[in-house]
Amino acid sequence: MTILAVTRERRDGETRVAATADAVKRLIALGLTVRIEAGAGLTAAVVDADYAAAGAEVTADLAATLSGADILIKVRGPSPEEIAALPAAAIVVGLLNPHLERAELDALAARGVTAYAMEFVPRITRAQVMDALSSQANLAGYRAVIEASQAYGRAMPMMMTAAGTIAPAKVFVMGAGVAGLQAIATARRLGAVVSATDVRPAAKEQVESLGAKFVAVEDEEFKAAETAAGYAKPMSAEYQAKQAALVTEHIKKQDIVITTALIPGRAAPRLVSEDQVASMKAGSVIVDLAVEQGGNVAGARSDETVLVASGVKIVGIANMPGRIAADASALYARNLIAFVGLLVDKEGALIAAPDDEILTAARVTQGGAVSHPSLQSA
């Protein structure tokens, strides 16, 4: 019988877990034997007793969990300790950050492991249930507004009292992908006046449908600024200059700015300069959701809140979904269940040479080498 293992996340600050108790039941229903390392779910509000009640075997340590394991599912890539303990022919599935963590991929390949990066799941209809980037970005966008509200220290909605009226907060969201749209919706629910920008033409209608104002230079380059897969294209220096001028005038009037812009395989684009930060009012807040990939905001630092001389706070939280570990784990586990279902047959046995297009797109190591085309020249 195929053994699926879930180990404790060993990255500093990672509070999520790859399987919840409900996920264990679903994985067992696929015909798998599920092993959980003791304490794996504690930071995501899942105790060992919950796993055991769901039918998992709770193991005492890492070695016992991985002994003879066929599949290891992870939130983040496995640690060196985990890689060393993996059976040579095992399968690893997780958010492997393949463009930025090449050393870890090389180690997996050297171990003979077949690894799948959930970041590379293709954007096709059949794979929507496996789209971990979207499930986690949705929660990140929500939580970014909550973190911004806490750091702001003022009320978000308009309040009319006998003592006077409190004006609503002005929130500007930069990047209207999954995280950005959820940030817009959350800020609107909290009563803020919201505006947003994005280089993708399709974003305008989405932003306006949520009741926010769209801010962008809408020229010919803007109209062609989206890939077939739905990602933003890198923009020309000329366009960036025009957009920066527009944003500069807009940003100085904002109370809260949330940046969400990422380009797969590249460092995060710089959206907010030091001068733009300095132009904002004292007490304003910027939350940089791209800080883990270099940041959209000048001066942002990973897992720090920076108070600049002008009185503006720059909040850089590297693992925003980890701030909502229980829900983030539940959604991510469902992504993994659907993905793992492609690796096994109806009886739960591993498929010898899986050729599903989703697996092919997500496979990053195989046969002792880093195999994904986009990583071949790295």
143 is an active site residue: no
Q: Which of 128, 209, 236, 374 is catalytic?
A: 128
131 is an active site residue: yes
DSSP codes joined into one string, 250-313: HHTT-SEEEE----TTSPPPP-B-HHHHHHSPTT-EEEETTGGGT-SBTT--TTEEEE-TTS-E
Q: What values do phi and psi take at 12, rounded to 5?
A: -60, 130
266 is an active site residue: no
Q: Which of 76, 111, 131, 198 is catalytic?
A: 131
Q: Which of 10, 11, 123, 301 is catalytic?
A: 123
Q: Which residue has the tokens 């004292």?
A: 282
231 is an active site residue: yes
Residue 355 neighbours by CB under 8 Å, 6+ apart: none
Q: Which of 61, 231, 236, 303 is catalytic?
A: 231
Q: Which of 10, 22, 48, 134 is catalytic?
A: 134
245, burial (CB in 10 Å: exposed 0-12, middle 13-18, buried 19+): exposed
206 is an active site residue: no
CA distances from 255 to 5, 10, 140, 193, 281 (A): 46, 37, 20, 10, 7
CA 284, 290, 293, 297 dihedral sign is: negative
Which structure tokens are listed for 270?
A: 């710089």
Q: Which residue has the tokens 């939280």?
A: 317
Active site members: 123, 128, 131, 134, 231
